[in-house]
Structure 1
Amino acid sequence: MEYVRRVIDTILDEVFPGLPAIALEGAKGVGKTATASQRAETVLSLDDPLQLEAVRAHLDLVSTAKPPVFVDEWQIFPPVWDRVRRAVDANPDEAQFLLAGSAQVAPGTRIHSGAGRIVRMVMRPLAVSERRLIDPTVSLQDLLTGTRPDIGGASPLTAADYAEEIVRSGFPGIRDRPERQRNLQIDSYIDRIVDHELPDNGMRVRRPRALRAWLAAYGAATATDAAYSHILNAATAGEDDKPARQTVDSYREHLQRVFILDPVPAWTPAFAPLRRLTKTPKHHLVDPAIAASLAGVGKEALLRGAGTRVGASAGTWLGALFESLATQSVRVYAAAAEAEVGHLRSADTSREVDLIVEDRGLRVVAIEVKLAGTVTDHDVRHLNWLGDELGDRLADKVVITTGPHAYRRPDGVAVVPLALLGP
């Protein structure tokens, strides 16, 4: 299969081999192995029993092999991490290591943090621009400059096309298969997480059905900050025997460790006059296709309005999954711009902005996501409020849509179809 260049490749072009060791982290299937293999002379795959046995027997194999050395699924044998760290300490100018992991090490596992030696980078499923649907015309990095660049471009994609992208997923090895094969693969992916990945990474799953039900309820709460008690109630409606809070906390902890949960943190503004903002994260799965699969909802059902939402009083579930698809892409583009992504919501819920992108210069791009082809004054009221509050710190205001055209409104808000936004 031809390798499809990713946004993270541009970052790696810049920092590797200048940095002696980089750890690519993310859920299984996002493409870490393919990306790292493009840059390696030696590949050690620890999910291969023979290679794992060789590394266990001779740990120095990691540091004596021909560089750059790529160690895949390093967390299966955590001593690899410390061996790489020591190799970097001994020869930081020549060490060249890439590590890939689909889980953070289990609590209690003793490894050095690697701070200053091993740089961590997160990989997510394919952003919309990486799916090669159309060429983007609007750059998030340009929006962050504060120069208010010209906005233009046309997209042939419709709401139905974005619904198709949601259910196809951003996993490179799944999305291009025929629909029935794809559905079976996503279902199997979820089964493997519950039945194998979580147990293999330190979680004893006593009630797999309860865990799946909780995960489905979490997916139904996509793009909300619903209380975890509400999610649990949705997962156990009509049941008296509910999992204990400690059990549910364990679900969350371990699902985040294997990168299946990918919540967006609340934005905490520095040197800004904003007060009384919620600190609750917004719920997102690593890919909205997982949420759709857990609910048994396909493209046509999404377009008909199927899907029960948890923690939301308005909007459709398709709208929530479209926001999740947009969020997934914006986070990929933000990483290329050395920016972080959060969300804004006032404690009294009177003000809300779906995504806040903030770079190292503390410049902010505020983004609303709308499952619509047109944008009204009502849709941009919170963006314009934030502009009044932040002044020059607000580099740009954006509404991501399903519409056909990118343009800038008279009030300065950029209207951008999701397919036209890129890094």
Structure 2
Amino acid sequence: MGRVPLNFLVERRVSGLLRELVAVEPVIALHGPRSVGKSTVLSGFAARAGGSVVDLDDVEVREAVVGNLAAVVAGATPLCVDEYQRVPDILDAIKARLNREGSLAGTAVVTGSTRQDALPMTAQALTGRLHSLTIWPLSQGEIGGVREDLLEALKVDPAGTVKQVPTSSTTRAEYVQRVCAGGLPLALRRTPATRARWFDDFVRASVERDALELGRVRERQAMADLLAHLAAQTGQLLNVTKAAQAVGVSRPTVENHLRLLEDLFLLVQLPAWGRTLRSRVNAKPKVHVVDSGLAARLLRLNPDKLAGLDPSALTDFGHLLETFVIGEVRKQASWLNEAVALGHWRTSDGAEVDLVIEYDDGTVIGLEVKASERAPAAEFRGLAQLRDALGPRFAAGIILTTGRRSYTYADRLHVMPIDRLWTPVRPTTRS
């Protein structure tokens, strides 16, 4: 049986961050995948501010705006514009207003389903005066109505955090359900059967509409094939040459389509980290589908197929689980008050760490994701090597498992259940 469809409006953590940033930044741009909830966040912000939203996804509104850009941006602030990439010249109009009146905080909040620098006409607009926030799919904590704080707690007291977390009761089957559901709001509002059709429509719209609007793709089928191929590689090292061979196009075409899939927030590259630590560190990024539910659908995997314990099911679930966990951490990192760098670490002799989190002060935490219930000693190899290479900068290395127990294995090396990611260290629920 699948999870019950989401039937309520979820409060987004990014909404609070948006309200804080509007007090200091002239323009805020909310970017993220289509159907991730950008319009909902913007509408909620506008309602709080006593304003309205200029919806450029509406054809009539768009036509009216094109002929009256100066008048549209001259109104009361904050100006709220949804899907600005439909009329990218609106950013130039906002820039002209800022030039006249000064870069006043809270002048505008805009949303877009593509990265700003993916649109040539807007690449230079508002440089230095636009702060970009990414809205990722719903986190498990947002879905459950709790405030995740694991990354904050691990930074302050890793060993103490491991001791504080309770024993997990999440089963493997429940993890499979969460992974296959993902975090895209409109997908979560559907039953598993109708969710599959929604994901198919989501991909089709992204490839056939959004990609064509950027004007950078002619071979739609090649891009769709590339997305499917890279979904099968989610959580693995990116090999552009093999991808080109698999899809049957040139390497430059794959590189162009890969950038486009990233610009549309369908794929995310996790860069190699720590190349200055030793010469034998692999420089290739890993590739992840932006949402584990979308990845599962692209691979035609569902909970029934992943429930088995045969090698194929275990391998598929392992890769999807890594994408799921890294997605959850990426969401939490985007809400922190300090900048963090995310990457993976892999040496030529096979030692690896799935996710390295480097805080602004140089503190590092390493995470390994395992689809098994136990963490044998051999699994700590990569984390131990990273600990020894970094010395005091290394705060903790944690293997996240589908098991129940949290414990310390060795110096700064620990084991925790995966669901600790969305179990508050300091339990509080939003009212």
> TM-score if structure 1 supplies the norm length?
0.89
2:278 corresponds, among 256, 268, 274, to 274
SS in 1 for 2:109: strand
Go from structure 1 to structure 2 and tell me whether the alpha carbon gap of 1:91 and 1:129 turns closer, same or farther (over 3 Å shift).
same
SS in 1 for 2:353: strand
Q: In the alignment, which residue of structure 2 is the partner of 1:238?
A: none
Go from structure 1 to structure 2 and tell me whether the alpha carbon gap of 1:226 and 1:64 turns closer, same or farther (over 3 Å shift).
closer
Post-superposition shift, 1:306?
A: 8.0
Alignment map for 1:401-416 (pairs within 5 Å): 401-416=401-416
Select the structure that is richer in helix: 2
Aligned residues, how many?
407
Q: Does 1:66 align with 2:72?
A: no
Per-residue CA deviation, residues 251-291 of structure 1 (Å, 9 max, x unaligned), is 2121111111111111146xx64333222110111112222
Contact persistence 1:21–1:88 (CA under 8 A): no
Contact persistence 2:24–2:105 (CA under 8 A): no
**Structure 1: which 5+ runs fail to align?**
236-241, 310-314
SS in 2 for 1:109: helix
Alpha-carbon distance in 2 for matches of 1:137, 1:254: 31
Alpha-carbon distance in 2 for matches of 1:6, 1:52: 27
Q: Does 1:97 align with 2:103?
A: no
Please provide the CA RMSD for this pair: 2.4
1:288 corresponds, among 292, 300, 305, to 292
SS in 1 for 2:156: coil
Go from structure 1 to structure 2 and tell me whether the alpha carbon gap of 1:292 and 1:2 turns closer, same or farther (over 3 Å shift).
closer
Q: Does 1:195 align with 2:195?
A: no
Go from structure 1 to structure 2 and tell me whether the alpha carbon gap of 1:20 and 1:343 turns closer, same or farther (over 3 Å shift).
same
**Structure 2: which 5+ runs fail to align?**
1-6, 425-431
Alpha-carbon distance in 2 for matches of 1:45, 1:3: 20
Go from structure 1 to structure 2 and tell me whether the alpha carbon gap of 1:187 and 1:54 turns closer, same or farther (over 3 Å shift).
same
Q: In the alignment, which residue of structure 1 is the partner of 2:397?
A: 397
> TM-score if structure 2 supplies the norm length?
0.87
1:224 corresponds, among 220, 233, 236, to 236
1:253 corresponds, among 247, 259, 267, to 259
Per-residue CA deviation, residues 360-417 of structure 1 (Å, 9 max, x unaligned), is 1111111111112222221222112211111111122112222223343344323222
Contact persistence 2:11–2:142 (CA under 8 A): yes
Alpha-carbon distance in 1 for matches of 2:105, 2:285: 40
Post-superposition shift, 1:47?
A: 0.8
Alpha-carbon distance in 2 for matches of 1:107, 1:150: 43
Alpha-carbon distance in 2 for matches of 1:278, 1:36: 41
Q: In the alignment, which residue of structure 1 is the partner of 2:3?
A: none
Contact persistence 1:148–1:395 (CA under 8 A): no
Q: In the alignment, which residue of structure 2 is the partner of 1:33?
A: 39
**1:366 maps to amino acid:** G
SS in 2 for 1:149: helix
Go from structure 1 to structure 2 and tell me whether the alpha carbon gap of 1:168 and 1:108 turns closer, same or farther (over 3 Å shift).
same
Contact persistence 1:144–1:395 (CA under 8 A): yes
Post-superposition shift, 1:99?
A: 1.0
Q: In the alignment, which residue of structure 2 is the partner of 1:239?
A: none
Contact persistence 2:95–2:125 (CA under 8 A): no
Go from structure 1 to structure 2 and tell me whether the alpha carbon gap of 1:88 and 1:144 turns closer, same or farther (over 3 Å shift).
farther
Post-superposition shift, 1:85?
A: 2.6
**1:175 maps to amino acid:** L
Alignment map for 1:164-183 (pairs within 5 Å): 164-183=177-196
Alpha-carbon distance in 2 for matches of 1:265, 1:4: 31
Post-superposition shift, 1:355?
A: 0.3
SS in 2 for 1:283: strand
Q: In the alignment, which residue of structure 2 is the partner of 1:153?
A: 166
Alpha-carbon distance in 2 for matches of 1:54, 1:137: 43
Go from structure 1 to structure 2 and tell me whether the alpha carbon gap of 1:400 and 1:55 turns closer, same or farther (over 3 Å shift).
same
Alpha-carbon distance in 2 for matches of 1:32, 1:46: 13
Go from structure 1 to structure 2 and tell me whether the alpha carbon gap of 1:293 and 1:120 turns closer, same or farther (over 3 Å shift).
same
Alpha-carbon distance in 2 for matches of 1:57, 1:409: 65
Alpha-carbon distance in 2 for matches of 1:224, 1:266: 12
Q: Does 1:24 align with 2:30?
A: yes
Deviation larger for 10-19 or 217-226: 10-19
